[in-house]
Structure 1
Amino acid sequence: MNEFEIFHLIYLIMISAISVIFIVHSILTRKKLTIKEATFNDYFREWLEHHDVKTPIEEIKGPLPPYLKSFFFAGKWYARLGINANKVSILGVIWGLWALECWFLGHTWIVLGVLFLILSGSTDSIDGVVAYLTDTETDLGAYYDAILDKFGDILWVLGPIYFIFTNSTAQATYSNFLLITITVIGLMGLLLAIIQEYCRARQQGLGLTETKPVIGERISRLGMFIIIYSCIGFSDLFTLLNPSPGFQNVNIWMHIYIIPICFIVLLIFSIISIIQLNRHAVKYLK
């Protein structure tokens, strides 16, 4: 076994053990949670108020209402299973660990990584719904949620970075300088996303409790990573099922370009978001 195979084996054993411990602990400590009578509109109004959106819910169109509604009902399901908000947050990191494992396995396994990625990203909204429905919203819970979300973000970006350094197509296309440049762009996007969240947390610490959504919210980052995982995973799968020149050319294009394109978009989103948050601070902080 080479060094990576040893590392991969240790990593797989570790995340398997973490998953088993989490499941066993959740079963042994499971308690019936008291779920308050609340409709989606009740939750939506509170969400809008928290994000300083004055528009009545009846006038809000687009993907936001169905997006939040899906998480509202998922949160109800978790609450009925007796899984509290903190455990949902921890579960997000566990799903992220399995998403990274799919990159280590490579090829069509990355398709399964799309599912783990969506499960990991969805917990960021679901844990808040569970806390709302069970009246267990606490400052400590919000603190843990924010910290665990950042661990999830790190896991999401590690997979694509690992891919560009190990994929034969990317290796044959990019020089070492370009590989390092792509990695730096990805890590800078991650770092600025963390700074973006720090800006928001600092504003709230100074008394600015209502903050407007920005372009680089976590759902935007999740969307970019879903594009990366899906384009590479499904192009590998379709090329395996139909190895025609057309599919092979698409597969090569995805392997070479989709990661740097999405990394650049994520970096731009983070920069714009920091500017938006600072403009908000200038407007309301004295």
Structure 2
Amino acid sequence: MDGLRTWDQYATRWAGLHGGVDPRTSSATVASWLRMSYRVGRLLARIKVRPSLLTTLGLVCNALVLYVTAQHSFWPIVAAVLVVLSGVMDSLDGAVAVITNRVTRLGYVYDSVADRLGEAAWVGALWLIGVPGWLAVLVGGLAWLHEYIRARATAAGMAEIGVVTLGERPSRLILIVVGLVLSGVSGLIAIDLPAGAATVVAAIFVLLGVVGLIQLVATIQTALTAPQRRR
């Protein structure tokens, strides 16, 4: 035995850390992604890669997004690849932590801070492409508010994740990747097209963010106002 958690042990622990969402009973897409993360994470765990290193690598990828996007032309496509890599690192750091039983409160805080800094870089990238400043700030504000409200609800006693909204981090990651790719492709056609493409994606970002907040607030209101069961 190598001392690492099996898939079933990993899935049980992962569910406990994510509001009861069990990878074994999730949708095919989510289950496949998490099983892949488990397999790669197990390999990384065997060669002694620490979760914090993966978190740092993801943060570096997101920091490079700003520099690469600023080069304009086709470079936003490269930035999109960096965003995808940061998402992979974000999944693998948690996988390694669970597999090796190294889930710590400090690691949780570091991972959350890295996620918020990474998303700030995404917003900065949209602004560099040409999205109006007020719209870029709104995109970032909605993302931050979504995470803040859920964190406060959890602190107030909401035991489960509540609802998977349209404004979750995976949705935000997919949108920023689409926006960067469209900007890079359109930049090869005409110099003024990237700003318009990125602005359209940012507007969709805001729409999903607002809908996601409505979903989240409604679920939290129900969860925190429902009478508690007596034991």
TM-score (norm 2): 0.84
Question: Separation in 1 of the partners of 2:3 and 2:205?
Answer: 37
Aligned counterpart, 1:171 = none
Q: Structure 1 residue aligned with 2:145, among 192, 195, 198?
A: 195
Structure-to-structure mapping, 1:113-192, within 5 angstroms? 113-164=79-130, 182-192=132-142
Question: Separation in 2 of the partners of 1:64 and 1:219?
Answer: 11
Paired AA for residue 36 in structure 1: L
Q: Structure 1 residue aligned with 2:24, among 41, 53, 57?
A: 57
Once the 2 structures are TM-superposed, how far is the Cα of residue 254 of structure 1 from its aligned partner? 4.6
Once the 2 structures are TM-superposed, how far is the Cα of residue 35 of structure 1 from its aligned partner? 5.3
The question of 1:220 aligning with 2:188 is answered: no
Greater helix content: 1
Is there any run of 5+ residues in structure 1 with no aligned partner, and where?
1-33, 165-178, 240-247
Given the superposition, is the C-alpha separation of residues 159 and 38 from structure 1 closer, same or farther in structure 2, using an over 3 Å criterion? same
Given the superposition, is the C-alpha separation of residues 77 and 254 from structure 1 closer, same or farther in structure 2, using an over 3 Å criterion? farther
Aligned counterpart, 1:43 = 10
Verify the 8 A CA contact 1:186 1:264 in the aligned structure 2.
no
Question: Separation in 2 of the partners of 1:149 and 1:229?
Answer: 18
Structure-to-structure mapping, 1:223-242, within 5 angstroms? 223-236=174-187, 239=188
The question of 1:266 aligning with 2:213 is answered: no
Verify the 8 A CA contact 1:208 1:284 in the aligned structure 2.
yes
Once the 2 structures are TM-superposed, how far is the Cα of residue 83 of structure 1 from its aligned partner? 2.4
TM-score (norm 1): 0.69
Verify the 8 A CA contact 1:74 1:126 in the aligned structure 2.
yes
Question: Separation in 1 of the partners of 2:28 and 2:182?
Answer: 25
Question: Separation in 1 of the partners of 2:3 and 2:123?
Answer: 36
Once the 2 structures are TM-superposed, how far is the Cα of residue 221 of structure 1 from its aligned partner? 0.6
Structure-to-structure mapping, 1:74-85, within 5 angstroms? 74-85=40-51
Aligned counterpart, 2:229 = none
- SS in structure 2 at match of 1:105: coil
Verify the 8 A CA contact 2:180 2:198 in the aligned structure 1.
no
Mean Cα deviation higher: 151-160 or 42-51: 42-51
Once the 2 structures are TM-superposed, how far is the Cα of residue 253 of structure 1 from its aligned partner? 7.9
Question: Separation in 2 of the partners of 1:234 and 1:134?
Answer: 41
Question: Separation in 2 of the partners of 1:106 and 1:81?
Answer: 38
- Deviations, residues 39-86 of structure 1 (Å, cap 9, x unaligned): 2x54345444533447x835x444212222232233234323422222
Verify the 8 A CA contact 2:42 2:96 in the aligned structure 1.
yes
Aligned counterpart, 1:71 = 37
Paired AA for residue 19 in structure 2: H
Question: Separation in 2 of the partners of 1:253 and 1:109?
Answer: 15
Once the 2 structures are TM-superposed, how far is the Cα of residue 272 of structure 1 from its aligned partner? 1.9
- Deviations, residues 215-248 of structure 1 (Å, cap 9, x unaligned): 2111111100110111222444xx4xxxxxxxx3
Once the 2 structures are TM-superposed, how far is the Cα of residue 199 of structure 1 from its aligned partner? 0.8
Question: Separation in 1 of the partners of 2:21 and 2:114?
Answer: 26
Verify the 8 A CA contact 1:51 1:213 in the aligned structure 2.
no
Verify the 8 A CA contact 1:93 1:152 in the aligned structure 2.
yes
Paired AA for residue 201 in structure 1: A
Give me the identity figure in percent. 24
Is there any run of 5+ residues in structure 2 with no aligned partner, and where?
226-231
Question: Separation in 2 of the partners of 1:252 and 1:72?
Answer: 43
Question: Separation in 2 of the partners of 1:90 and 1:209?
Answer: 29
Question: Separation in 2 of the partners of 1:254 and 1:47?
Answer: 43
Aligned counterpart, 2:159 = 209
Given the superposition, is the C-alpha separation of residues 35 and 156 from structure 1 closer, same or farther in structure 2, using an over 3 Å criterion? farther
